[in-house]
Amino acid sequence: MFKLSKINARRYTSWFKLIQEFSLGMLLLACLSSAHAQILYDSLTGTVTDASGAALGGAKVQAVNTGTGVTQETTSDGIGIYRFTTLLAGQYNVSITAPGFATQQTANVAISVNTVARVDARLKIASATQSVTVTTEAPLLQTDRSDVHTDLSAAEVQSLPAISSEGKSFQALYRIIPGSGLPSESNSAGGNPQRAMTANVNGQSTQGNNTRIDGVQDAYPWLPANIAHVPPTDAIETVNVVTNSFDAELGNAGGAFVNVQIKSGTNQFHGDFHEFHTDNALSALNYFSPPDTRIPLNVFNQFGGAIGGPIKKNKLFFFGDWESTRQVQAPNGGNPQTVPFGGLTSHAAQSAGFFDFRGVLPAGAHIYDPRTGTAAGTGRAPIACNGVQDTICLADVDPAALAMAQLIPAPNLPGSSLNYFVSQTGFFHRDDFDIKVNYVPNDRSTVFGRYSMSRSFIFDPPALGDAEGNATLGGQLGNASSRIQVAGVGGTYAFSPSLMLDLNAGFTRQRINATAEDISSNFGLDTLHIPGTNGPDPLQGGVPAFQFNTFSNLGNPNTGNPFVFRDNQYVSNANMAWLRGRHQVRFGIEYNHTQLNHFQPQGGNFQTARGSFKFTGAATELTGQPSAAQFNSFADFLLGLPDEVGKATQNLDPNALRWSQWGWYVRDQSSVTTAHRELRCALGVLPDGI
């Protein structure tokens, strides 16, 4: 009879040790990767000279954001060089004046995140009040930085084809980044509800990429190839992707360093509304498809909008966006299952009084009685019910197997394999929103704050109805929901034109879970009466897993289901820029703290939290004789003789891990040449108890 003992269960309780080892490895990797501050703001520099080319010190330089009216001012130094280091992305009008010289005005200078723009001025002597207007063009060669990067504007992010499995995603544009492989999604929709994408950049691991949103680290510590939050494309002002020759502020990034900046409000109200729709009626059949082929049900809608504007002109601004994703899917014959047929169906067995293998076994194969012969599997006689060979009497069938067999649907397609399919509908629902406020207290300082949240609910129905089995759409069986929150604040302060500070802090909270529909029942204990199944934790409820050779699995066979993740991340950093003659010295420090709070009992490729039973056919085979593994494994199931049993248990709920990282850097960039002289260093602190 079925029995799941505590001894077997204890064989698979190494979860805590495994997660500790994983965490240690991840921390060691982190110490070798980015633990540094980031470049959130943008720079503008240039050289001011007179008509003869001699440097002009003390020239007044003013940069005005055309959208917000925010103004920053500085002066050129003794060798004619001026620098702005804390500009937000946008369009700027730049004016340069000096006593006795005509004013130079340059309009619509594009400033992008993590870049250095250059506007040089050669001022002419003015005989009267006059000004000179010049235009700018994109430079053919970047001369003020040595990194290799690509900028994606808001128009490109919104307009270019950037589609993931759940609508538009800026990460799909990685494919146009030089050195990047094709981006792809990983993990189930339940475990990765943002449908985050990743790519190998310059041949490096996908885990070597580092993504920040408004300076806040956007990481998924448990699945580090993913990110926690993918903002809607309507919310993105710019994406800067650095792939080589990383600046010291970016740390020892291995693949790509991605800076995402959320839009800000301006002095003018602006907004938009969008909708993206597709469905199976709009799709074309493959030319070579059979005439009766139908395209599976797939109705997809993604809609939302954004609005931004002033709360107080030139001082206080807001921006907000919302996007909803709705998808309904039902495969049309794309995921058939294999169920018992002929005399092996529960209905036929109840009518005949036995399960009849005679009409399904291949020539020369038999179902052998495990009560006969030797322990080595020799000398067995074919099993018989009332003298009828290759039949199993209902009285000999294990009660738990009989109860499960009654739940298995009868085949509705011909053949001995892939003989059952019923189109069942699953869905994916997700809502995302962001809100951001920018404040300019005075000409020395700026402040911003942002809050983002994403909520999702996903349903993937079981392929065999009450007998459950595999997920119809191939994801997490049953229900999966999530709530992801990201908050960030930051600001800048100029002590003087040559000494500037920027600060940033953020928090990310991921609550992600997946459970089968019957999670509230102890089906294994109360209905099947199998000792050792289910457990004291409510998340161990549901139907145990029954696995066969060829026949489709019964119960919930997903070894990663159920799970509940409640993970927190804290990040804070401070950076100081000091301009001294020909040098721009920048230094900073960052502190990150991560908290993992998990419940997900796993025991390799077989054990589940509800209990698992694997049938290989060994109990009803005859050693050295032809076998029919598909039918022998089902016979083992009927007799309650699994070849392997197990249960994954987790002693702590949640399993909690904590670790902290900190790092610092110093960089000296000379303006004499385009060369960089940098000192970079990263230090990490391992968590207590590892």
Does 66 lie in the same domain as 183?
no
> Is 488 strand, coil or helix?
strand
Q: Would 386 be classed as within a structural domain?
A: no
Is 48 a domain residue? Answer: yes
Q: Residue 222 falls within a domain, yes or no?
A: yes
Q: What is the mean pLDDT of residues 473-491?
A: 93
Taking only the tens place, the pLDDT of each residue in 493-552 is 999 888 999 999 999 999 999 999 999 999 999 999 999 999 888 889 999 999 998 899
Predicted local distance difference test score (pLDDT) of residue 606: 81
In terms of phi and psi (left: phi > 0; alpha: psi -120 to 50; beta: otherwise), the region of 11 is alpha
Residue 30 has pLDDT above 60, yes or no: no
Distance, first Cα to last Cα, the chain: 43
Give the rounded distance of the alpha carbon of 219 from its chain centre.
Answer: 8
Question: Which of 29-43, 44-58, 287-301, 569-583 has the lowest average pLDDT?
Answer: 29-43
Same-domain check for residues 608 and 525? yes
pLDDT band at 16; cut points 50, 70, 90: very low
User: What average pLDDT score do residues 487-498 get?
Assistant: 91
- Residue 26 confidence (pLDDT): 37
Of the candidates 115, 141, 167, which is a domain's last residue?
Answer: 141
Residue 21 in this model has a pLDDT that exceeds 60: no
Q: Does 671 have pLDDT greater than 70?
A: no
Length of the chain: 690
How high is the pLDDT of residue 112? Answer: 78
Band (690; pLDDT cuts 50, 70, 90): very low
Average of per-residue pLDDT across 574-591: 87
Per-residue pLDDT band for 159 (boundaries 50, 70, 90) equals confident
Residue 177 and residue 127 in one domain = no
The closest of 440, 447, 418 to 331, measured between CA atoms, is 418
- The reply to whether 60 and 33 lie within a common domain is no
The domain boundary, picked from 92, 117, 141, lies at 141
* pLDDT score, position 686: 40
Question: Taking a C-beta distance cutoff of 8 angstroms, is the pair 48, 98 a contact?
Answer: yes
Tell me: do 209 and 65 sit in the same domain. no
- Residue 25 forms part of a structural domain: yes
Confirm whether 357 is domain-assigned.
no
Query: Does residue 22 register a pLDDT over 70?
Result: no
Give yes or no: residues 488 and 569 share one domain.
yes
Domain containing residue 461:
6-37+155-335+424-612+646-685
Mean pLDDT of 4-31: 38
User: For 358-413, how does the pLDDT look when each residue is reduced to its tens digit (9 = 90+)?
Assistant: 989 998 899 999 999 998 889 999 999 999 999 999 999 999 999 999 999 999 99
**Rounded to the nearest 5°, which phi and psi values hold at 486?**
-135, 130
Does residue 11 carry a pLDDT above 60?
no
Element (H, E) at 156: helix 154-159
> What is d(CA 248, CA 238) in angstroms, rounded to the nearest whole number?
21
The residues, any chain, with a CB within 8 Å of residue 160's CB and separated by 6 or more, are 173, 176
Give domain status of residue 90, yes or no: yes
pLDDT band at 137 (very low <50, low <70, confident <90, very high): low
Is pLDDT above 90 for 134?
A: no
**Residue 668 confidence (pLDDT):** 85
C-beta of residue 453 within 8 angstroms of C-beta of residue 484: yes
| pLDDT above 80 for 688 | no
Is the per-residue pLDDT at 661 higher than 70? yes
Q: Does 94 lie in the same domain as 71?
A: yes
Domain at 97, CATH number: 2.60.40.1120
pLDDT tier for residue 443 given thresholds of 50, 70 and 90: confident
- Euclidean distance between CA atoms 392 and 630, whole angstroms: 16
Do 475 and 569 reside in the same domain of the chain? yes
Instruction: Output the pLDDT for position 687.
Output: 42
Assess whether pLDDT exceeds 90 at residue 674: no
pLDDT tens-place string over residues 625-637: 877 888 999 999 9
Decide: helix, strand or coil at residue 632.
helix
Per-residue pLDDT reduced to its tens digit, 609-619: 999 999 999 99
- More confidently predicted of 212 and 34: 212
- Whether 356 maps to a domain, the answer reads no
In a shared domain, residues 226 and 81:
no
Residue 232 pLDDT exceeds 90: yes
* Number of domains comprising the chain: 2
Q: For 15-19, 85-89, 352-356, 560-564, which range has the lowest pLDDT when averaged over its residues?
A: 15-19
Query: If pLDDT is split at 50, 70 and 90, which confidence band does 146 have?
Result: low
Tens digits of per-residue pLDDT, 591-607?
999 999 999 988 777 88
141, 164, 182 — which closes off a domain?
141
d(CA 196, CA 188): 11
Over pLDDT 90: what percentage of the chain? Answer: 53
Q: Phi first, then psi: what are they for 105, rounded to 5°? A: -120, 125
Residues 6+ apart with CB under 8 A from 374: none
Over 70: is that where the pLDDT of 9 sits? no
Q: Is the residue at 273 inside a domain?
A: yes
Same domain, 178 and 314: yes
User: Are 255 and 290 within one domain?
Assistant: yes
Q: How far apart are CA 671 and CA 83, in angstroms?
A: 10
Class of residue 78 by CB neighbours under 10 A (exposed 0-12, middle 13-18, buried 19+)? exposed
If asked whether residues 458 and 537 sit together in one domain, one would say yes
* Prediction pTM value: 0.80
CA–CA distance from 305 to each of 161, 275, 429, 615 (Å)? 19, 9, 17, 53
pLDDT at res. 372: 94
pLDDT band at 337 (very low <50, low <70, confident <90, very high): very high
Q: Is the confidence at residue 666, as pLDDT, over 70? A: yes
